[in-house]
Structure 1
Amino acid sequence: MEGDKSSGAGAGGLVLLNCFVSPFGNRVRIALKRKGLAYEEKHENLAPKSPLLLSSNPVHAKVPVLLVGGSPVCESLVILEFVDEAFAGNGEPLLPAAPCARAHARFWASYVDSKLPECAVRVWRSPKGAAAVEEGRKDLVAVLKTLEAELGAKPYFAGDALGYVDVALVPFAPWFLTYERLGGFSVAGECPALAAWAERCVRENECVAKSLPEAEDVFQFVCGMRKMLGLD
């Protein structure tokens, strides 16, 4: 699978190890496309994991991994900051320039990772009707409402343009349909401003639109996972 072949390409020999539904890996896709960097993308299955992935990320054995001239950079938020720093001359920056604004962005990206995935997993990896589904739904809605409050009336989390927090969060948007169908709620109904923000990110930013899977494809992937786990 080939990535964007636009400017500055071969610099560093970039290879992204990713799974097409991974919000974490798709963050990196957005960042690379936003910077106009050429890269090769290698698809990873959840099992068995490739020898390349296991040798590149022996601690967590998870995607994403960005190989830069063969050297691995692991963990999606770390990779975003690496791309922003290593290719500062390409495209628009992800993080703001002011130290306080950078710290603020890092806080909210960390909040996304510390809260959203754990709640979401309880919704989609629990048996139908289990108490964990309802508990996960309540916690997930609370997290989304907290993020919506931080967004406020701004078009994007940092203001008028796509930035670090947007890139960290928007890859979860294709999963909203799965959360809704398995959790029995509507993201747009609970968090209309956040739903509108997700649509805006895709509509106004080609780097986002070209980096995210279709919501229905994510749902079908999850249905396959649930069958494999004996949940359906």
Structure 2
Amino acid sequence: MGGEDVKLLGLWASPFPMRVSISLNLKGIKYTSSEESLEAKSELLLKSNPVYKKIPVLIHKDRPLCESLIIVQYIDDVWAASGQSILPADPYDRAIHRFWAKYFDEQIIATTGAIIRMRVKTEEEIAAAIAQMKTVLEQLEEVFEKCSKGKSFFGGDSIQYLDIALGSFWSWIKVIELLIGSKILEEKKIPLLVRWGEKFCAHDAVKDSMQDVEKLLEYAKRRQTFFENAPPAQ
């Protein structure tokens, strides 16, 4: 299904387009992808997302959609009869998935972004960032135990919305560990989440989209150099 009328504007290193590609894979939707550049954004990207000028953008039948989690929900709605459901069927469960996905974005991703952009530099700042990330992951360990009901994913037997939101960032968490020289994914503290991450990354809908950690580390170092040498904001 899908094909020429479905196009994804993204960047291999970004976790946000990965959310879209995983969702399309789960639904069995064929699509084309276009690799964007952060330094030289295409006219199509600027035209498709004139407000934020960011990836990802999903173009479906010449109509653009922006913001990764909004796109994931759109995919689930439009192709409801294809593949598996991405959002849980129960309204309460859907709300729980949305809540924790939003919380993850506000906490873990914001902290990681600060590290990459060289806004977190001192030992004290790094220690605070590590502590904050560990606290969030320990909370998500409890959430996983409740949502999974002893099964493999937050969605139970299948990957769903919260799996996609967190899992798309798994390689980046490992990169942050290497950049700061400290373990964040501690199996003693979050054993369920660590095992979940391994299963998520090995899933057929995910494995071809997941970034190589070493390659991503080199990319992260280049971005840090870029931000370190950038002139201060006016």
Partner residue in 1 for 2:116: 124
- 1:133, CA displacement in angstroms? 2.1
CA deviation profile, 1:83-135 (whole Å, cap 9, x unmatched): 00101111001011121111111111111212111111233332654533222
User: Contact between 1:19 and 1:25, CA under 8 Å: does it hold in 2?
Assistant: yes
Distance 2:111 2:138 in 1: 13
Matched, 1:159 2:151: no
CA distance in 2 between counterparts of 1:144 and 1:125 reads: 22
Taking structure 1 as reference, are residues 157 and 96 closer, same or farther at Cα in structure 2, changes over 3 Å only?
Answer: same
- The correspondence of residues 96-175 of structure 1 with structure 2, limited to 5 A, is 96-126=88-118, 128-152=121-145, 153-175=150-172
Say whether the 8 Å CA contact 2:154–2:163 is kept in structure 1: yes
Aligned residue in 2 for 1:35: 27
Q: Deviations over 1:169-217 (max 9, x none)?
A: 10111112211112332233253321211101122x2111111111111
The answer to whether structure 1 residue 183 and structure 2 residue 176 are counterparts is no
Residue 221 of structure 1 corresponds to which residue in structure 2?
A: 219
TM-score (norm 2): 0.89
- Please tell me whether residue 198 in structure 1 is matched to residue 191 in structure 2: no
Where does the alignment leave 5 or more consecutive residues of structure 1 unmatched? 1-7
**In structure 1, C-alpha distance between the alignment counterparts of 2:180 and 2:143, rounded to whole Å:** 24
Matched with 2:70 is 78
- Corresponding residue for 2:84? 92
CA contact (8 A) 1:16 1:67 kept: yes
Give the AA of the match of 1:131: E
Runs of 4+ displaced beyond 6 Å: none
- Give the CA RMSD over aligned residues: 1.7
Distance 1:176 1:201 in 2: 14
Question: Aligned residue for 2:232?
Answer: none
Three-state SS of the structure 2 residue aligned to 1:42 is strand
* Percent pairwise identity: 34
Structure 2 CA distance, aligned partners of 1:221 and 1:110? 26
Contact 2:5 2:62 in 1 (8 A): yes
Residue equivalent to 2:48: 56
Q: Give 3-state SS (helix, strand or coil) of 2:113's partner.
A: helix
Query: Retained in 1: the 8 A contact 2:133–2:184?
Result: no
* Worse overlay, 25-34 or 44-53: 44-53
